[in-house]
Amino acid sequence: MKIRVNTIKLAKGIIFFIPIVISVWMAVQYFAVSGNLSIGTNFSSASPFISEWYPQNRAGDREQNLRTGDTYQQLVGEPDYIDVAVPRSYDSVDVTVDYNNDEQPLIEFGLITNPEPWSVNLQAFESTVIDEALKTWDRIDTDGVTLLQRTKQFNSLDEFRNAMPSDKGVGTYRYQLYPTFIDPTYTPSDASLDIDRYFRGAHEFVAYVKNETLHITFDFADMNREFNADPVKIEVYDKGQLIDEKLLSDDGDVTASGVNTAVRSLTVDIPNLAEGAYTLKVVVDNDMVTTHIHSDQEKFVAHNQVYIINNEEYRIPFPEMNLDGTTVATNATEFIAKTDHNTGVQTMTIDDEPLDINTVHEFASWQAENATANTNTVRTVVMPKNDLLFITHGYMAFTQDSFFDPDYLIQSVDEMSTLDQLDHIVFQDYHSPEVLRRDKTQTVHLDLAGVAGDRKKLTFILSAPGLDRERYMIQINHIQFDFQREPLWQRLRQRFHL
């Protein structure tokens, strides 16, 4: 009888303490007492914190291997997204993915930092070209940068940079090389270039100078759609070295008034520069719009991406805006483009080949049929309604005569690269995944400081260019998120100055 009473008491005690333990556990998670939170899923069932991969037309349903019992999701198109909800905001996260990838040559993984206008932080995940070269090529590591050589020709990275091969056998990944670019056919003239396109947010341009002053004027307007100060900075670089910068303070309105202020200008004026290509980085946030560019340099191109907003969507803040379509000249062999507004739905053309942008917030992609054979081809791309974020590896000009490619000796290591095209590869911020037979594991570290909002709901992105075109497939077996922030006791000590 005594044993029975003790058993009943024990059972009552367990029942009493279960909600207390759960409440304590939830409090520990909510307040991030330790500063860490680890959550993961193997897709065997729905998770309260982690969604499945989506959208459905690119990510399959959860599946199970009947022989092993393992569960997974298969990705057959890209980009793919997965949402994570956490109880508190964190400073950073390490994402570990167990996956199978048999043929997709390039994968990048990251985080959407702002859905509109689109902003994403993508990190290196897997490059099969680099992984293959790492097996047998000569390797030199210098301050986080790696030089791979099929046959050892240079003894250091500096030696390589100073005597870069001129045979186009150089590939880069997440690293910018600056080959000396000289155009013997170029003659300075009195002709100038005026670009009446409206560029939203940060952009990068390159101008060619020969026995003349680098003179370019940028006009800016602040839309004041967000609560923040919006200063402007233009940085001028010569082969990666900062040689000048111009600053423009905020317009004085740090509220989200929605009233754009009067246009103001910044002028870059640098005489006596050596002949060559010079990079101009417009460092602004997405509240700022470059409304006009006047360049004394005829050779003038945009690098990697443009966000042109000459569209009815922006007619109210900019009633004087020219709504004509935009034509750019580019030697890109691939690109992606998207619009965030219904007024931006349109059909682009690439040398008269159509590309439909028919869904808002989703990228459409284009790739040349024979990219290797056409790297020197300058194509004409027409954006009839603008309001497009246009991203590529390469350069774009706003007249045919303005186009030039300062990286003509360099090719980006991307999904179209093959090892036989290259003799040298320079990269940084990449490490190969761990491999066990067909299974691979990769970990990516992401800083959350730049994410818009309260950082409690995060959208992660996996990019695998060409996945759907080549009918490849990536199988995600497990994904783990390890969040970090300062422990609670440190935050309390800082808050109360203990």
- Residue ranges covered by each domain of the chain: 2-31, 36-128+430-489, 193-408
pLDDT tens per residue across span 443-455: 999 999 989 888 9
Kindly tell me the sign of the dihedral angle through the C-alpha atoms of 144, 146, 152, 153: negative
Quick check: do 36-128+430-489 and 193-408 share a fold? yes
CATH class, range 36-128+430-489: mainly beta
| Res 274: pLDDT | 92
Instruction: Give the mean pLDDT of the chain.
Output: 89
Q: Of residues 253 and 123, which shows the higher confidence score?
A: 123
Per-residue pLDDT band at 116 (split at 50, 70, 90): confident
Percent of the chain topping pLDDT 90: 66
CATH 2.40.50.100 fits domain 193-408: no
pLDDT tens per residue across span 402-429: 999 998 888 889 888 899 999 999 999 9
Per-residue pLDDT band at 253 (split at 50, 70, 90): confident
pLDDT tens per residue across span 189-243: 888 999 999 999 999 999 999 989 999 999 999 988 877 788 999 999 998 999 9
| Res 10: pLDDT | 67
Inter-residue contact 59 to 439 (CB < 8 Å): no
Mean pLDDT of 145-171: 92
pLDDT tens per residue across span 82-110: 999 999 999 999 999 999 998 999 999 99
Per-residue pLDDT band at 373 (split at 50, 70, 90): very low
Mean pLDDT of 333-345: 93
| Res 1: pLDDT | 45
Per-residue pLDDT band at 18 (split at 50, 70, 90): low
pLDDT tens per residue across span 455-467: 999 999 999 988 8
| Res 480: pLDDT | 98
Query: Can you give the pTM of this predicted structure?
Result: 0.79
| Res 12: pLDDT | 66
Residue 306 has pLDDT above 50, yes or no: yes
Residue 312 has pLDDT above 90, yes or no: yes
